[in-house]
Amino acid sequence: MTRTGEGRAGVPGGIDSTRPSSARVYDAILGGKDNYAADRVLRDDLAAVTPKPGALAAESRTFLLRVTRYLASTAEIDQFLDCGSGLPTLENTHEVAQRVNPDATVVYVDNDPTAIVHGRALLAENDSTHFVAADITEPEKLLADPSVARGLEWSRPIALYVLNTLHHIAGEHRIADLMARYVNTLPSGSYLALSHFCRPGAEDPEAAELADKMEAAYLGSMGTGWFRSRDEIASYFGGLDLLEPGLVPVADWWPDGPRSAPLEPFYRVLVGGVARKP
């Protein structure tokens, strides 16, 4: 880890290791090493209420990979704005996109101190990939950053990613309106890829009960991690044209092969989709 001034016990300055962060908890669930005891406590709390938090996190990651492969190849998108990118891991957005098109440009955005330290270090030698320290709840400020405003060509289509990000934003930010401010800036032909924790309705009581337990674990330890209804999540696309198969559990968004058994409940509490701006 690149160090920017030390805090307690060798912790880089600006990082509060006593409170879990969404980026580091995700890293802990995936078996990474860039996390602290507080993050692992929440990981273990989640493991106590859902049998396979690692499987859900891994499925979320493969959703990102499938979406990126589709957009970079079939849709011929070569510009990506990844908001709430988290900690770098294997097969990041830029690696997948640039494997399809070496000239693809990716701008990562996060405000988590650990993600900032690691992201900048990882991307220092990649001229087509940039990292911006910004808050997604301040779209005008984020979009005015030079790496975003001038690093992307706003006359051509862009893929905007908000994956596993919005469920850590409180409802007081009026998320549908917040997303509209981003969507309105996107050029015609752009895409929005979004995933979010979902609380299923009465038609799926087993998954709904699991969502309640997982939300309680997140809110109790981290203060964020809201599970919202499918209709509320759908509103975040702002009327864009959802691609088939629509807003579905991320495991059901164009999986790499046929499914041999029904999805277990823990897979049904994370939904995602991709939409195109006409």
Q: What is the pLDDT of residues 89-99, one digit of tens each?
A: 668 899 999 99
**pLDDT recorded at residue 246:** 98
pTM, rounded to two decimals: 0.87
- pLDDT digits 0-9 by tens, 60-71: 989 999 999 999
Domains in the chain, please, with CATH? 21-255 (3.40.50.150)
Alpha helices in the chain (DSSP H): 22-29, 37-49, 53-73, 93-100, 113-123, 139-144, 146-149, 175-183, 205-221, 230-235
- State how far the Cα of 19 lies from the Cα of 216, in Å rounded to an integer: 16
CB 230 within 8 A of CB 208: no
**pLDDT recorded at residue 14:** 60
- pLDDT digits 0-9 by tens, 75-128: 999 999 999 887 766 688 999 999 999 999 999 999 888 778 776 776 666 888
Regions in the chain scoring below 50 on pLDDT:
1-13
Q: What angle do CA 209, 237, 205 make, to 5 degrees?
A: 15
CB 93 within 8 A of CB 80: yes
**pLDDT recorded at residue 67:** 98
Burial 25-41 (b: 16+ CB within 10 A, else e): bbbbbbeeebbbebbee
- State how far the Cα of 123 lies from the Cα of 128, in Å rounded to an integer: 9
Identify the three-state secondary structure at position 147.
helix
- State how far the Cα of 230 lies from the Cα of 150, in Å rounded to an integer: 35
